Amino acid sequence: MKNLSPDLRNEIEEQLQETRLNLVVYEYQRMMMLQKMDTVITQEELEKYFADNGNSFMLTSNIVKALFIKLPVETPDIWKIKSLARSNKQKDFQELESICYQFAEKFDDFNEDWITMDRLSLELKEDISNQENFLKRTTFYETSDSVSVYLIAINDYKLRGTLAPFEYVREDIKRIIWNNRRIEFIKELETGIYNEAIKENSFKIY
């Protein structure tokens, strides 16, 4: 610091003061949010936001609900696995799960959540060039290489450019609502501090 000019030292000191002040403000806001801000977001609020802002939730990717199975080519009775994978009966799924537990290299229903078609393509290790046409005409798909057989059962799909399913964007909506609340809370907090400072005549303009 000795070798710095007085002007530069003053500038550094001002920056340090500003940084300290910003940290104090941040910690105060964080403490007040933890103590006072309403963090409960109900299902009704989520659904209303989705209904009111549908145009904000158009899909940019094709998405699917699917089952993916990867089996060694030498798997016994592989025909039975294919047959069970095509079925939509719960008892068949349970039997399929039991067999795949013994033989499959991978058995994944993605927790029955929506996933992008691109992610599913990665599992297949092959590119599906026209996803829209593929999804419109395919409910069951199989392919293989020298060591593995890949099976996909598609239970549902939504195409890009259409409205996203509510459950697919539910967590995004929750983050949006929470962030909007946070911004509004901080704005009200700052307004309250400003008004209090004016009332007490302790507000300074720099």
pLDDT-derived band at 39, boundaries 50, 70, 90: confident
Q: What's residue 24's pLDDT?
A: 67
Q: What's residue 115's pLDDT?
A: 96
Domain-wise residue ranges, the chain: 34-58+164-206, 60-158
- How many other β-carbons are positioned within 10 Å of the β-carbon of residue 158? 19
Q: Which CATH class is domain 60-158?
A: alpha beta
The 10s digit of each residue's pLDDT in 171-197 is: 999 999 988 888 887 787 777 654 555
The 10s digit of each residue's pLDDT in 118-155 is: 999 988 878 888 999 999 999 999 999 989 999 999 99
Higher pLDDT, 8 or 132: 132
Whether residue 98 has pLDDT greater than 90: yes
pLDDT-derived band at 205, boundaries 50, 70, 90: very low
Whether residue 48 has pLDDT greater than 90: yes
Q: What's residue 15's pLDDT?
A: 80
pLDDT-derived band at 206, boundaries 50, 70, 90: very low
DSSP letters, 83-138, are HHHH---HHHHHHHHHHHHHH-SEEE-GGG--EEHHHHHHHHTS--S-HHHHHHH-
Lowest model confidence (mean pLDDT) among 105-114, 128-137, 160-169, 190-199: 190-199
d(CA 15, CA 165): 48
Q: What is the dihedral of CA 40, 41, 43, 48, to 10 degrees?
A: 150
